Chain A
Amino acid sequence: MTSSLSLTVNDRPRTVSIEPHHTLLEVLRADLGLTGTKECCLVGECGACTVLVDGRSVDSCLVLAVEANGSEVVTVEGLALAGALNSLQQAFLDHGAAQCGFCIPGQLMAARALLETSPRPSRAEVEDGLAGNLCRCAGYEQIIEAVLDAAERDAAPTAARSPDRGAAAEADPAATPDANLAPQ
Chain B
Amino acid sequence: MRAFAVAQPEDLSEAIGLLAGEPAARLLAGGTDLIIGLRDGSIEAPLVIDVKRIRELDASIANAGGGLVIGARTAMTEIAADPRIRARYTALAEGAAVVGSVQIRNRATLAGNVCNASPAADTTPALLVFGATVAVRGPAGERSLPIDEVFVRSGVTTIRPDEIVTRIELPPIAGRVGSTHVRRTRRRGHDLASVTIAAAVLESGETRIAYGSVGPRPLLRVDSTGALADPGASDAARLRVLDDMFADAAPSAGSMRASPEYRLAMLRVLGLRAVDAARGRREGSKA
Query: A57, A127, A131: which has the most chain B beta carbons within 10 Å?
Result: A131
Assess whether B1 is in contact with A131, with CB atoms less than 8 Å apart.
no
Tell me the B25-68 residues at the A interface (CB within 8 Å): 28, 31-32, 35-36, 38-39, 48, 50, 52
Instruction: Write the nearest CB–CB distance from B78 to chain A, whole angstroms.
Output: 11
Partner-binding segment picked from A38-46, A81-89, A152-160, A173-181: A38-46
Assess whether B102 is in contact with A132, with CB atoms less than 8 Å apart.
yes
Among the listed B3, B100, B103, which residue makes an inter-chain contact with A50, where contact means beta carbons less than 8 Å apart? B103
Is A142 an interface residue when CB atoms closer than 8 A count as contact?
Answer: no
Assess whether B190 is in contact with A132, with CB atoms less than 8 Å apart.
yes
**Distance in angstroms between the alpha carbons of A67 and B34 in the assembled complex:** 14
Tell me the A110-142 residues at the B interface (CB within 8 Å): 110, 113-114, 127-129, 131-133
Assess whether A62 is in contact with B36, with CB atoms less than 8 Å apart.
yes
Assess whether B107 is in contact with A131, with CB atoms less than 8 Å apart.
no
Contact A66/B101 with A21-B3, A131-B190 known, Cβ cut-off 8 Å: no
Is A63 an interface residue when CB atoms closer than 8 A count as contact?
Answer: yes
Assess whether B52 is in contact with A129, with CB atoms less than 8 Å apart.
no
Query: B31, B50, B102, B107: which has the most chain A beta carbons within 10 Å?
Result: B102
Is A167 an interface residue when CB atoms closer than 8 A count as contact?
Answer: no
Assess whether B101 is in contact with A21, with CB atoms less than 8 Å apart.
no
Chain B residue numbers with a CB within 8 Å of A113 are 102
Tell me the A24-61 residues at the B interface (CB within 8 Å): 42-45, 47, 50, 56-59, 61
Is B8 an interface residue when CB atoms closer than 8 A count as contact?
Answer: yes
What 0/1 readout, one digit per residue, does chain B (251-274) give for beta carbons within 8 Å of chain A? 000000000000000000000000
Contact A43/B102 with A1-B5, A66-B8 known, Cβ cut-off 8 Å: no
**Distance in angstroms between the alpha carbons of A105 and B231 in the assembled complex:** 51
Contact A131/B101 with A62-B31, A63-B31 known, Cβ cut-off 8 Å: yes
Q: Taking chain A's interface residues, is the majority helix, strand, or loop, or is none over half, making it mixed?
A: mixed
Assess whether B101 is in contact with A132, with CB atoms less than 8 Å apart.
yes
Among the listed A45, A66, A131, which residue makes an inter-chain contact with B102, where contact means beta carbons less than 8 Å apart? A131
Assess whether A20 is in contact with B32, with CB atoms less than 8 Å apart.
no
Among the listed B3, B4, B50, B106, which residue makes an inter-chain contact with A56, where contact means beta carbons less than 8 Å apart? B106
**Distance in angstroms between the alpha carbons of A131 and B190 in the assembled complex:** 6
Among the listed B1, B8, B36, B102, which residue makes an inter-chain contact with A110, where contact means beta carbons less than 8 Å apart? B102
Instruction: Write the nearest CB–CB distance from A162 to chain B, whole angstroms.
Output: 32
Among the listed B3, B6, B38, B190, which residue makes an inter-chain contact with A45, where contact means beta carbons less than 8 Å apart? B190
Contact A67/B50 with A21-B3, A21-B6 known, Cβ cut-off 8 Å: yes
Among the listed A1, A21, A42, A59, which residue makes an inter-chain contact with B103, where contact means beta carbons less than 8 Å apart? A59
Contact A64/B103 with A20-B4, A21-B4, A127-B189 known, Cβ cut-off 8 Å: no
**Distance in angstroms between the alpha carbons of A11 and B15 in the assembled complex:** 33
Chain A residue numbers with a CB within 8 Å of B38 are 21
Assess whether B32 is in contact with A44, with CB atoms less than 8 Å apart.
yes
Is B77 an interface residue when CB atoms closer than 8 A count as contact?
Answer: yes
Assess whether A47 is in contact with B36, with CB atoms less than 8 Å apart.
no
Tell me the B144-177 residues at the A interface (CB within 8 Å): none
Is B104 an interface residue when CB atoms closer than 8 A count as contact?
Answer: yes
Among the listed A19, A56, A58, A64, which residue makes an inter-chain contact with B28, where contact means beta carbons less than 8 Å apart? A64
Instruction: Write the nearest CB–CB distance from A5 to chain B, whole angstroms.
Output: 11
**Distance in angstroms between the alpha carbons of A64 and B31 in the assembled complex:** 8
Is A10 an interface residue when CB atoms closer than 8 A count as contact?
Answer: no
Assess whether A19 is in contact with B3, with CB atoms less than 8 Å apart.
yes
Chain A residue numbers with a CB within 8 Å of B52 are 67
Chain A residue numbers with a CB within 8 Å of B36 are 42-44, 62
Instruction: Write the nearest CB–CB distance from A117 to chain B, whole angstroms.
Output: 9
**Distance in angstroms between the alpha carbons of A63 and B48 in the assembled complex:** 13
Assess whether A47 is in contact with B103, with CB atoms less than 8 Å apart.
yes
20 contacts between A and B (CB under 8 A): A19-B3, A20-B6, A21-B2, A21-B6, A23-B35, A43-B36, A44-B104, A56-B106, A57-B103, A58-B106, A59-B103, A62-B31, A64-B48, A66-B8, A66-B50, A127-B189, A131-B102, A131-B188, A132-B100, A133-B101
Question: Which A residues have a C-beta under 8 Å from some C-beta of B?
Answer: 1, 19-23, 42-45, 47, 50, 56-59, 61-64, 66-67, 110, 113-114, 127-129, 131-133
